[in-house]
Amino acid sequence: QVQLVESGGGLVQPGGSLRLSCTASGFTLDYYAIGWFRQAPGKEREGVSCISLSDGSTYYINSIRGRFTISRDNAKNTIYLQMDSLNAEDTAVYYCARAWGCADFSLPHNFGSWGQGTQVTVSS
């Protein structure tokens, strides 16, 4: 059974850091790309980062570039999203999902096998 499970969300102060995890099971990561998405209250879901697991290429949207880092732990079948210098605009539910590649990763409809999401709240 294909499954993606997110974890690592929580409450953090502005300027703080969190590391989100996306643990995969039921399929071989090497053939796919994994994207991280977020959805804030009243807003549409948006793609923020993607990693192509066939060649390790990584992609970011402009608003998080330099603050967020996507990476992989092969042994744990897990994709991470390290989030630094967080601000209130980063508050959202964060999801991971898979696709065949990172092309147009900002478009959620290109991805499937969505996890349940993990809440990130940035507030003082």
Contact 97, 37 (CB under 8 A): yes
**Tens of pLDDT, residues 79-117:** 999 999 999 999 999 999 999 999 889 889 989 999 999
Contact 28, 14 (CB under 8 A): no
**Tens of pLDDT, residues 55-69:** 999 999 999 999 999
Three-state SS at 100? coil
Which residue type does 94 have? Answer: Y
Between CA 99 and CA 122 the distance in angstroms is 29
Question: Does residue 22 carry a pLDDT above 90?
Answer: yes
